[in-house]
Structure 1
Amino acid sequence: MTEIELPAAVRAYLTAHAAKDDDAAARAFAPDAAVTDEGRTFRGRREISAWRHQASTEWTYTTEVTGSRRDGEDWIVAIRLEGNFPGGVADLEQRFTVRDGAIARLVIA
């Protein structure tokens, strides 16, 4: 995966995510945004903030961006999580759709 310049909203989310600043992470999203993670979809900043809070407090982990690329209108970011969750290491792809300077959709696989 190649490294590309990510949109400001995606960079802001990734920085807030790494710092476990759930409110800042939620502010990177559009008011009507949606996040899909582990088969569940969270809609709007309120649900997204609650999702981030649960994820950041349930386990202790570190994040590392291992690559990024563009796929049509989406930005794909490869993330490695290491921590005390089952398995201890997870390599994920996060697919961001950005509209009007904010994240409109995030799908984590």
Structure 2
Amino acid sequence: MNNVKLPEIINQFVEYTNARSSKDFINLFTENAVLNDWGRIFKGRYSISEWNKNENIGKKSQFEILGNRKTSSNSWLVQIKVTGDGFNGTGPMEFTIVGNLISSIKILPD
């Protein structure tokens, strides 16, 4: 990956997950954001907060960015290492940013 400078919102996504700050985490998303977790679709902040509770911060996930590249004017592919009480391993996440918020995340198989 190219390891370009990431938008601060993506760094905050990692920071708030690692700090287990659910309130700050959910405020990173647009009201109508979409999170696609290997084909499971979560639409809107409420649905993403449920995913967060059951799959992310609720599982004590810890993220480490391993690499990244810009894929379009407002999208980045970020390789992330995940540890915790749920999924453990590495994989890509594709972030789309609108303004200063996350409008979508697609979690892809490695």
Which bin holds the TM-score, normalised by the shorter protein? Answer: 0.7 to 0.9
CA distance in 2, matches of 1:44, 1:84: 25
CA deviations on 1:49-82 (whole Å, 9 max, x unpaired) are 111111122x444321101110113111110113
Question: Unmatched 5+ residue regions in structure 2?
Answer: none
Listed as ranges, the matches of 1:1-109 within 5 Å are 1-55=1-55, 56-57=57-58, 59-73=59-73, 74-85=75-86, 89-109=88-108
Aligned residues: 106
CA distance in 2, matches of 1:18, 1:84: 13
Q: What CA RMSD, in Å, does the superposition of the two structures yield over aligned residues?
A: 1.7
TM-score when normalising by structure 2:
0.84
Hey, which bits of structure 1, 4+ residues long, moved more than 4 A? none
CA distance in 2, matches of 1:13, 1:61: 12
Q: CA deviation at 1:23?
A: 2.0
TM-score when normalising by structure 1:
0.85
CA distance in 2, matches of 1:32, 1:52: 16
Question: Unmatched 5+ residue regions in structure 1?
Answer: none
| Identical amino acids, percent of aligned pairs | 25
